[in-house]
Structure 1
Amino acid sequence: MKALFIGGTGTISSAITRQLAEQGHELYVINRGRRNDRLPDGVRALTADINDEAQVAGLIDGMRFDVVADFIAFEPAQLERDYRLFAGKTKQFMFISSASAYQTPLSDYRITEGTPLSNPYWLYSRNKIACEEYLVKMYREDGFPITIVRPSHTYDERSIPLGVHGRKGTWQVAKRMLENKPVIIHGDGTSLWTMTHNSDFAKGFIGLMGNIHAIGESVHITSDETVTWNQIYEIIADSLGVELRAVHVASEFLAECGDIDYRGGLLGDKANSVVFDNAKLKRLVPDFVATTRLDQGLKATIRNILEHPELQQEDPEFDAWCDRVVGAMEAAARAVKEG
C-alpha cells in the first residue's frame, strides 16, 4: 500500500506511521521537518508547509496514492485545499475529525456513529463538524473517496492524559502529586470516560486504510474500556507511588476562572459521560481489539516520562492557578461553616 500522511509525527499519527513501516508499506509524510527524527526508517519525508499549496503540488506532481490522510486539518478551508491537491490522486482520503463533535450534552450516553453532531460549547468541535460536512458534500457531488475517522482521548508514552492541565502539558499535575499537593479533578470525578492508547488506535486506522467498505463512512476508533475520572487519577497516583489528594471542582467554575479554554475542553468534552459503541469499526475491521488496558498503558507512560527528564516540562503559572483555585474552595467551605 502506498500512502501519504499530512503530519505523521503526532500522538495519533506516530503510532500509525510506526506500524505501517513495520509492515513494509510505502509511506510518505508531508510536514515541516521539525520532528522527523521520530520517523521510522524507510518512511519518506517530503519537507514542506502544507499551507503552501503550490510547493506541495510540485512535490507530488505525477504521484498517485492508495491512501492520503490529513491529521492536522481543523477548518474547512484546509480540506478545500486538500481536495484541490488530491482529487484524482488517491483512492481514499482519510480525515481525522474528533469524537468531541458528537452531540453535547448527549441525549444517550452510548455513542454510535449515528449520534448527532452538535457542540455549542467548543469552536474546535464545530469546525471539525464543518470539515466533515464539506467532505461529505464532495463525496456526494463529486465522488471524492472519503473516510472520516473520529478519535476520542488518545494518548502515548510522551504525555499523561488528564482532564485539567495548563498550556505546557500535563507533567505539572504529576509533579503536584509527587510534592503531596492537592490536584484538581473536574466535577465529582464520577463521570465516565474512555481513553485509547495510540498503538490500539493505529490498529483500527490501518484496518480502514485501503478498505473499500470504509469509503463514504464515518467511524470512531476507541477502546471498549470505560472508567471514571476518579479512577484515572487514582491510577496515575498509584503509578507515581503516592497518595492522591483530590479536590473536586465544578466544571462550570473552572470554565469561569480559568484563563485557558476549559469551557470547550470540559463543558464541551470531558465533563460529559461517554461510552463508545465500536460495533461499526469491528464490522469494517473484524480483527480489531484494543488490547492496552488503561492502568497498564498509564503506568508505561509514567515510567517513560520519569526516565526522560526532557518530557517533564514544568508549568509554574498553572501550578499557581491550582493553588488559587484550591485556596478559594477551602475559603468558601470555611465561610459557609462559620456562617
Structure 2
Amino acid sequence: MRVLIIGGTGFIGPFVVQQLVEQGHTVAVFNRGRSDTKLPEGVQVIRGDRQDLSKYVAQFKKFAPEVVLDMIPFFEKDAQAVVNTFQGLARRTVMISSGDVYQAFGRIHGKEQSPVDLSVITESSPLRTELYLYRGARTGEFFDNYDKIPCERAYLSKPNLLPGTILRLPVVYGPRDNQHRFRSYIDQMVEEVGEIKLQKEWGNFRWTHGYVENIAHAIVCAVTDKRAANRIYNVGEPETRPFRDWVRDVGTQFGWEGEISLVNQDELPESERTDSNLEQPMIFDTSAIRRELGYEEIVPYEEGLRRTIEWERTTDESDLTDIT
C-alpha cells in the first residue's frame, strides 16, 4: 500500500512510519522539514506547507497515495483542504482526532453545564456543544481556531467519493513525548523523595492512556485495513487507572518505594493545582477497533512504562518541540 503522511516526524508519527515500512508499505511524508527526525530508508519526503496544498498536487499525483494519513488536523480549513485536494487522487483518508471532542471533556473544563456522567465513553457518546474550547481562554491564533470536531466533520463529508476514518486518541505517553507527562514524578524518584503529593481530585481522576508504540499500531491498523472506511474509533488501553495508580506503577518500574499522598489543593504549589471538574472521568470504550480491526497492544503495559522512564531520564526537556 502507498501511504502519504501529513506530519509524521514528531511524537507519534515516527513510530507509525517505522511500523508501516516494516510491514512493507511504501511511505511518503509531507511536512515543513523542521524536525531532524531520521526516517527509515526508502521513505519519500515532500517538503511543503499544508496551508497551501494546491502547490504540491503534482508531487502528490506522482506519489499516487492510496491512503492519506493526517497526523496534525488542528483547524477546519486545513482538514477541508485535504479532502478537496485528495478527492479523486486517494482512495481513503485517516484523521488523528482526540477525546477532547466529547462532551465529557467540555464538562471537565466547565464548558458544559450538564451533570457529571460516569458512563464509559463510546464512539456514539455526545460531543461537546461548544466549539473552540480555548478561544478567549488562551492567547494566539492556534487556540482561537483549534477544534477537532469541525475537522472530523470535514473528513467524513465525502463518504462515497473519499471515505474517511477518525481515530480519537487518549492521553499518549512514551518516548518523544514533548509534554513529558511523567517527568516531574520521575525527577522526584531520582531524587529519592519519600513522598509524592497529588491533589486528591487529580489522584482519583481516570482518563484513558495509551503507550505511543501501541497507539501507532492502532493507527497502522486503521490505515491498512479498508474495513476502517467511514468509521470512528476510540483508541487506548483496555483498563483506565486512577492517576495515583499510574504514578505508583511508574514508581514500581523505577524501583521507587516511597509513598503517594492525596492532599488538599492548598497543600500544593500553584503549579501543581487544578480547578478542573475532575469528578467527570474520561474512560474510553476501545472495544470497536479491537473487534472490527483486530487491534491489540504490541508492547505490554509494564514494558511501555520502562521505556518511558528510560527515555525521560536520558532526554532534555528542550530537545523536542515539534508535535507532528
TM-score tier by shorter-chain length is 0.7 to 0.9
- Distance change (3 Å), C-alpha of 1:210 and 1:50: same
Aligned twin of 1:209: 223
Counterparts of 1:17-28 in structure 2, within 5 Å, are 17-28=17-28
Aligned twin of 1:317: none
CA radius of gyration, larger in: 1
Counterparts of 1:177-326 in structure 2, within 5 Å, are 177-179=189-191, 180=193, 182-185=196-199, 187=201, 189-242=203-256, 243-244=258-259, 246=261, 248-249=263-264, 267=277, 272-286=280-294, 288-306=295-313, 308=314, 310-313=315-318
Amino acid at match of 1:109: S
Partners of 2:200 and 2:12 in 1: how far apart?
A: 25
CA contact (8 A) 1:233 1:244 kept: no
Amino acid at match of 1:298: L
Classify the secondary structure of the residue corresponding to 2:37.
helix
- Distance change (3 Å), C-alpha of 1:244 and 1:48: farther
- Distance change (3 Å), C-alpha of 1:202 and 1:182: closer
List per-residue Cα deviations over 1:20-67 (Å, max 9, x = no partner). 111111000011223253312221111222223343334324442110
CA offset at residue 240 of structure 1? 3.7
Aligned twin of 1:14: 14
Return the TM-score normalized by structure 2: 0.78
Q: Is there any run of 5+ residues in structure 1 with no aligned partner, and where?
A: 161-166, 315-339
- Distance change (3 Å), C-alpha of 1:171 and 1:195: same
- Distance change (3 Å), C-alpha of 1:208 and 1:153: same
**What value does the CA root-mean-square deviation take over the aligned residues?**
3.3
Aligned twin of 1:128: 148
State, as a whole percentage, how many aligned pairs show the same letter: 24
Q: Find the partner of 2:124 among 88, 105, 114.
A: 114
Classify the secondary structure of the residue corresponding to 1:46.
strand
List per-residue Cα deviations over 1:98-145 (Å, max 9, x = no partner). 012122146343111111111759437971112112333x225x6321
Partners of 1:156 and 1:192 in 2: how far apart?
A: 18
CA contact (8 A) 2:123 2:234 kept: yes
Task: Count the aligned residue pairs.
Answer: 295
CA contact (8 A) 1:225 1:293 kept: no
CA contact (8 A) 1:50 1:56 kept: no
Partners of 1:312 and 1:293 in 2: how far apart?
A: 26
Q: Find the partner of 2:187 among 170, 175, 189.
A: 175
CA contact (8 A) 1:177 1:244 kept: no
Return the TM-score normalized by structure 1: 0.75
Greater share of helix? 1
Aligned twin of 2:175: 157
Partners of 2:133 and 2:197 in 1: how far apart?
A: 25
Q: Is there any run of 5+ residues in structure 2 with no aligned partner, and where?
A: 108-115, 135-142, 320-324
List per-residue Cα deviations over 1:234-265 (Å, max 9, x = no partner). 122334443245454559x99xx6699x67xx
CA offset at residue 6 of structure 1? 0.4
